[in-house]
Amino acid sequence: MSALRRAAARERLSWGLLAIALLLPAGALIGKAARDGALGGLAAHGGGLSDYGTLPDFALTERSGRTLRRADLAGAPWIADFVYTHCEGACPALSARMARLHRRLADRVRLVSFSVDPGRDTPVALSAYADRLGASAGGWLFVTGDRDAMRRLIAAGFRLAVVDAPAGGPEGAAAITHSEKVVLVDAELRIRRYYDGGADPWIDEAVRDLESLGVAIPPDSG
């Protein structure tokens, strides 16, 4: 096999493994989901919310420039997603859905978007991105930080697959290739549910789950 064909085969394999990895939370989580009667890490309908463990401590930088720690998010449920500002793929649609949820919640629940390209996503870049989405300063946080720390938090903390993007790929080698999962975290910093951020139904599901955790949310006005 020629060197060119071997390189092409390696690239196809990399993207194939990437596609599989991003479909589900990490393998340890899948086993627990099965024991809970769930599929693909999602809490079973009608069976209440699952408990996928407590987030570890972290110290990252919010778009305001202030340090955001785990303790700052304790005391109330919140919703997390994983995006980057230069994304031309899934991120714009995911962020648009988060913006819809943000308007519906009207700052009753915090949203937290973690950058998977912290090298380029400075607080200034995140601020511009947040402004385009109409994000309020306190209700929707945008977080960046050290790449290794972010990688550990996504993999070991949020229990999501982490795959380094292939060099020369659309995301660039500096980005942490990311899942479209959206994560519900409760007031005690326990992961309670994973949603498919690539489809609209998760927004209503998240609202119902937040209400089950004691958050009062007014009816959707359209």
Q: What are the pLDDT digits (tens) for 100-109?
A: 999 999 999 9
136 near 163, Cβ under 8 Å?
no
pLDDT at 215 over 70: yes
Q: Examine residue 105 and state whether it is found in any structural domain, yes or no.
A: yes
Candidates 169, 199, 202; CA nearest to 184 is 202
pLDDT at 28 over 50: no
Confidence (pLDDT) at 43: 42
Confidence (pLDDT) at 106: 92
Of residues 119 and 167, which shows the higher confidence score? Answer: 119
At position 173, the amino acid (one-letter code) is A
Q: Examine residue 29 and state whether it is found in any structural domain, yes or no.
A: yes
Q: Examine residue 19 and state whether it is found in any structural domain, yes or no.
A: yes
The residue with tokens 């937290």 is: 112
Confidence (pLDDT) at 12: 41
At position 218, the amino acid (one-letter code) is P
Do the bridges between strand 140-144 and strand 176-177 make them parallel or antiparallel, or are there none, so unpaired?
A: unpaired
Q: Examine residue 173 and state whether it is found in any structural domain, yes or no.
A: yes
Which residues share a beta bridge with 140?
A: 111
Q: Examine residue 158 and state whether it is found in any structural domain, yes or no.
A: yes
Q: Output the average pLDDT for the chain.
A: 80
The mean pLDDT value for 29-50 works out to 46
- DSSP, res 72: G
Q: For the domain that residue 188 is a member of, what is the CATH number?
A: 3.40.30.10
Candidates 184, 185, 215; CA nearest to 70 is 185
Task: Kindly report whether the global pTM for this prediction surpasses the value 0.85.
Answer: no
Confidence (pLDDT) at 20: 35
Q: Examine residue 217 and state whether it is found in any structural domain, yes or no.
A: no
Phi-psi region of 129 (alpha: psi -120 to 50; beta: other; left: phi over 0): alpha
Structurally, the chain folds into a number of domains equal to 1
Q: Which stretches within the chain are classed as H helix?
A: 3-23, 27-35, 91-105, 123-133, 147-152, 202-212
pLDDT at 150 over 80: yes
Q: Which of 12-26, 122-136, 185-199 has the lowest mean pLDDT?
A: 12-26
Q: Examine residue 59 and state whether it is found in any structural domain, yes or no.
A: yes
204 near 211, Cβ under 8 Å?
no
- DSSP, res 71: G
Q: Examine residue 219 and state whether it is found in any structural domain, yes or no.
A: no
C-alpha to C-alpha distance for 103 and 125, rounded to whole angstroms: 22
What range defines the domain where residue 92 resides? 3-212
Of residues 109 and 218, which shows the higher confidence score? Answer: 109
